[in-house]
Amino acid sequence: MRNTKDNISIINSTSKIEGVLYFKGHLIIEGTIEGTILAETVFTEIDSRIIANIKANSLTIAGFVEGDIEVTDTLTLLKTADVKSQIRCCKLIVDEGGHLNGSVKFISSENLNNSPS
């Protein structure tokens, strides 16, 4: 049986998706999402635009994100990230040049509610 960690889903740059989205494995977002994202591992590309609440185990942001973020492991903002959010995470990495407008609350993974895993 195939391990779900090997699953990769890609939302390409010409896609716009609205709603509540559930993903197992790796999610790569190049396009636009509005709504809610519940996922294991998420990577947003430079030109992505996300207006959504996100719950993930691991999240790396290179594009624009607006909405509440909850990450049970590591949240990484790359130098091209533009984030407007209330964040709850265990670990935060911000590359030089990454933009964050909002608040960050560090919390242990045991205290996060409704983990996506």
pLDDT at 1: 43
Which phi and psi (to 5°) does residue 37 adopt? -120, 125
pLDDT at 3: 54
Q: Give pLDDT, residue 108.
A: 82
User: d(Cα 26, Cα 105) in Å, to the nearest integer?
Assistant: 25
* Structural contact between residues 56 and 44, judged by C-beta atoms closer than 8 angstroms: no
So what's the pLDDT on residue 115?
47
Question: Where is pLDDT greater, at 111 or 106?
Answer: 106
pLDDT at position 113 over 70: no
Predicted confidence (pLDDT) per residue in 68-108, tens digit = 999 999 999 999 999 999 999 999 999 999 999 999 999 88
Q: Which residues contact 2 (CB under 8 A, 6 or more apart)?
A: none
Instruction: At 82, list the tokens.
Output: 């533009």
